[in-house]
Every structure is written in structure tokens, then in C-alpha cells.
Structure 1
Amino acid sequence: MDIVEKRIQLSRSTLHITMDRFNKRVRIEDYLGHFQDCVEESLKAADNISAEKIIFKARTENILELLSKGFLYEGSIDKFFLGSDCHFLVKYTQDQRRTSSHWIKEDEILENVQKLPTKVELEAPPSTYIGRKAEEIDAVKLAELYGKVFEIYPTPMNEPEYVRKCMKSGTVYYMYEHDGVIVSAASAEINYFYRNAEITDCATLPDHRQYGLMKHLIEKLESHLVSHDIYCIYSIARALSFGMNAALHQQGYYYRGRLANNCFIFDKLEDMNLWVKNYT
């Protein structure tokens, strides 16, 4: 899978870009310096890999300039940059990438999710389910879980070496085991510089979804993050997944927008919902 993170140094600016050939997109993770140069470089990077979507994680002061360049506003993350908001502005290079065939259905799912009560007290799963923080030794079994749950995934989580690489880079995983098999897992990708984290890689085997394991895992990850002074927590969930969006809503996350045709996941290119929770 061809996903490369690059730091590009220009004469008047610096960009941190993810070049994602698999998902046919370019994502500007961070930038510093002359903003017009950053925009022009992002468009060049997209052209170099024939990207269909350019995603800018922009600061508030740069929204209008991106809008003037034809970018569209799709969502935000509260307090992402050390207390300042992050805004997702995007540009499409192909009509079919811009158009979503499931948008109305996803609106209906979101509406039904937001009718659910929040801060529901969690019932403990049966004693046969063992929850704990994952270690590198669990990489093979974690990869097996992701391979079973997702036919397609934006990153190669079905490869043990990739899972180990993520762990070594600081990603934290929590999991549930049942009869020695990992049946549910989730992770937190942590940015210690900006004090934020993304809850991601959420997966539960179908036969074990009746016990609310994912809600428990999210709670465990949140406790870990707050204990390490990470107070901005967000997640990007499949817009077509009632269960995952419901889990986030009921754990006190707020909906902040939808990223159209954002990545290949589950079995196709899908829209993704942004959910955010802050502890400040």
C-alpha cells in the first residue's frame, strides 16, 4: 500500500503532507510560513500522484483564502492545534469523487443516532471477555481481526508488521479477548505536540457486537489519553455505520461534519463522519 508522509521545505514555508496513492488523495497535515506557497505546493503534490481529493487541515485564519481557491468546507475538529480549531477544507479533481450516492441515507442514519441518549452507563461485558492494553506480541492476532472485519481498509492493518510499526511510533491499542481470540480492538493515534489523538482502527467481530465492547474500549482509550495530558480526542467513522456513530454519540462525542468519498474502507470508497470530544 503506497502511503507516504513527507516533509516539504520551501523557501518561505514548510509542509507536512501525506501522499496517499491507495486512497487517491493528498492530505496536508500541517504547514508553516507563506500560506499561498503551501496551497500551490499541495496542488502540485496532488497532480504528481493524480490525486482525486486534496484535504487541508487548516487553521481558522486560512479558511477564506482556501475558499477563494475553490476549496470546500467539510468539517472541523475543536481545539485540535493546542486549543485552536482545525478545519477540513477540500478540493476535488474528479466529478465522480465529489458525488456521493449515499448522502441522504447517511443523513437519516445521523438523525437517528442523534436521537439516542448520551452518557449511558455501560454494563460490564460477560466475565469471559478480557479487556487490556495491547502489546507488540499481539500484532499477529490484531492483524487477523482487522483482516476478518474489513475487506478493504485505508491502511494495511491486516499486516502484523504494519501494526508493530504503528505501536512503535506511539499508537496505543486496547482490545478484548474471548477464548484466546481478539474479538474487538481500537487504537489512539497520538500527536503529543498538539495534544490531540484520533480514536481509530475500531473493529469488532460480528458475533461479539451485542455487548458494547467498543464503547468500553473507547472509554479505556480516553482514560489513557487524559492521563497523558491529551485533551482533544476525535474519531472519523464510516457514515453508513449506525453502530460506530451511535457508540461515539453515546460516549459524548459531537458531530462536526462529513468527509465525502474520503477513503476506501469496508468494501468501497466511503463518506466519513467527524466526531469530537474535548476534556478542557
Structure 2
Amino acid sequence: MLEIPYVSRTETGPDFTMEVYLDFANERLRVDDFRGSALSAADRVRELAKEHSCSKVFIKTRWEDVGALLSRGYMIEGVFKGYFNGSDAYSLALYFTDERRTSEYWMEEDEILHQVGQMDSASKIPVLPDGYSIRLAEKMDAKKLADLYRIVFPIYPTPMDQPDYVQKMMEEGTVFQVIECGGQIVAAASAEINSAYNNAEMTDCATLPEHRKHGLMKILIHALEEELISRHIYCHYSLARALSFGMNAVFHQLGYEYTGRLTKNCNIFDKLEDMNLWVKPIGR
């Protein structure tokens, strides 16, 4: 049976409406947008978070509503540049426990970010080595992709180790690029497309350990960017594990801009981890 990682529901009040994601795997409540009164929406979000034992609320909002959310105890964690059809979205968070609010690795992550910042940005895309090939994934690849994510990630925010879930993502419009070697998928990444706001999240980045010396992830992300641009989607962003030097370096070297860090944002690899936000609004 397909495991559903979250429940999506529409919440409305006398002066607001919003789509809420109860994200049980990551113990959080997420709102990607709302209309109407920010104060009323924030009050309802707090009620829902308490009701479902969420330790974090994560909201993307427009600049004009930031002040209202700050007055309700939220804090700004990052900026999704160009998210709303070219206009910026501000990532605000509200925490309900000291444990969720506190990062034990913040200084180490700052040092990683500093080291990444010393590297050249907008570097050349590596050449695919002999014996490797790249292509868009198809539905028939769902099982091979699920196997890849199961090997690479002991814990992941979504059930990418389930072929049915991977296939469902494809049916809903998520685009995967894969690299093969010897008939095996050895690396993959996806672009989760938001057709309402014409943006895409670069995510689900995974490479088998024995193939990590070739810069395959740069090749995959670049290929996804070209696919998105062909579809007239110009806002590309990603959330990278703040403790991963390699993934942060990939986005920096591909010309993405660091625009914030989301504290203990999701369960990934082996624990709740801080995620660095990298954004690349094409043309800005």
C-alpha cells in the first residue's frame, strides 16, 4: 500500500483561505500560500499545529504579510526569490519546542558555507564520463529509482523508496533526470514543478557512493534546468542539507544564491536537519 507522507486540506475562515499540508513524517505544518487576513490564517495555523502535535510551522508568504506574521511570533528564515510568478516569497517559521528551534550544528554549517563560498561560482559543467548516459526518467524507472533512494538515504522526508510513490510524482508532473552506467541508475535528481506559480524545486538528489567522483549531480541539475527553461519555468530553487559540503558546493558552482537556512526542517539522512536554501531566478 502506498504510504502518504502528508495530508493536504483547504482551510477557510470568514476572511482567509489557505491550503495546509500536515507533514507527519517531518512533524511540521506547511503552508505554501494563503489569501486574505494573515493574522486570521496564522491563528488557525497555530490551532492546527497544536491539534496535530507539530513542532514547527513553515509558511511561504508575500512581503506585505511578513509584518503580520512577525507579530504572531514567526521569524524569517529565507527568501525564495521569484517564487510567486517572479515575485519573492518569504519563508517564515514558528516553533513549538526548544529542541526543534535549536540547532546543534549551526557553527559547523556556517563553516561549510564559508568554505563553499570560497569556490568559483558558475563553473563549467563536467563532461559525462565514458560508459555513462543521461536521460529523462520514465514511469517504468520507478522501481529502479526507489531502489536508488533506499540505498542512499536511511531516512528521507518523503517515501521515495516506494515505487508507487515515485510513479505518482511523475504522474503529477515531477521531472526526473537519471544517469545510468552498466544498465543501472547510479544517480538521479528531480524538478518538482509548481505550475500555479511557475517555479520548480530541484530535489531528490542522489548518487551511489562509488560514482560520486565524476560530478554527476552538476550534470543532472544542469539538464533539469534546461528542461525547465524549455517549459518557460525560470525560478529554480533547492533545499540542501546544511551539513553536506558536496551538495551546497554543487548549487554554488551552478550559480545559485544562498538565501537562508531553515532550522531542523525535515527528517533526512539520519535525523531532523537544517536545510540551506539556494535560489536561481533566471534573468534576475
Task: Give TM-score scaled by structure 1 length.
Answer: 0.98
Structure 1: give runs of 5+ residues left out of the alignment: none
CA distance in 1, matches of 2:172, 2:128: 31
Partner of 1:160: 163
Query: Does 2:214 match 1:211?
Result: yes
Partner of 2:137: 134
3-state SS of 2:109 partner: helix
Q: Is the 8 A contact 2:152 2:206 kept in 1?
A: yes
Match of 1:114 among 114, 117, 137: 117
Letter in 1 for 2:78: G
CA distance in 2, matches of 1:26, 1:138: 31
The structural deviation recorded for 1:159 is: 0.3
Percent identical = 49
The structural deviation recorded for 1:250 is: 0.1
The structural deviation recorded for 1:34 is: 2.1
Partner of 1:143: 146
Q: Is the 8 A contact 2:39 2:69 kept in 1?
A: no
Query: Does 2:41 match 1:38?
Result: yes
1:131-174 deviation per Cα after TM superposition (whole angstroms, max 9, x unaligned): 00000000000000000000000000000000000000000000
The structural deviation recorded for 1:279 is: 1.0
Partner of 1:15: 18
Q: Is the 8 A contact 2:60 2:90 kept in 1?
A: yes
1:165-207 deviation per Cα after TM superposition (whole angstroms, max 9, x unaligned): 0000000000001111111000001011211100000000110
- Give runs of ≥4 in structure 1 deviating > 4 Å: none
CA distance in 1, matches of 2:64, 2:82: 14
Which stretch has the larger CA shift, 100-109 or 76-85?
Answer: 76-85
Match of 1:54 among 53, 57, 69: 57
Partner of 2:275: 272
Match of 2:181 among 178, 181, 184: 178
Letter in 2 for 1:264: N
CA distance in 1, matches of 2:72, 2:13: 20
Query: Does 2:40 match 1:67?
Result: no
CA distance in 1, matches of 2:129, 2:58: 42
Q: Is the 8 A contact 2:126 2:219 kept in 1?
A: no
CA distance in 2, matches of 1:7, 1:174: 32
The structural deviation recorded for 1:9 is: 2.6
Which stretch has the larger CA shift, 118-127 or 153-162?
Answer: 118-127
CA distance in 2, matches of 1:10, 1:184: 45
> What is the RMSD of the two structures over their aligned residues, measured on CA atoms?
0.9
Letter in 2 for 1:143: A
The structural deviation recorded for 1:72 is: 1.0
Letter in 1 for 2:170: M
CA distance in 2, matches of 1:157, 1:10: 35
3-state SS of 1:210 partner: coil
Task: Give TM-score scaled by structure 2 length.
Answer: 0.97
Structure 2: give runs of 5+ residues left out of the alignment: none
CA distance in 2, matches of 1:153, 1:215: 21
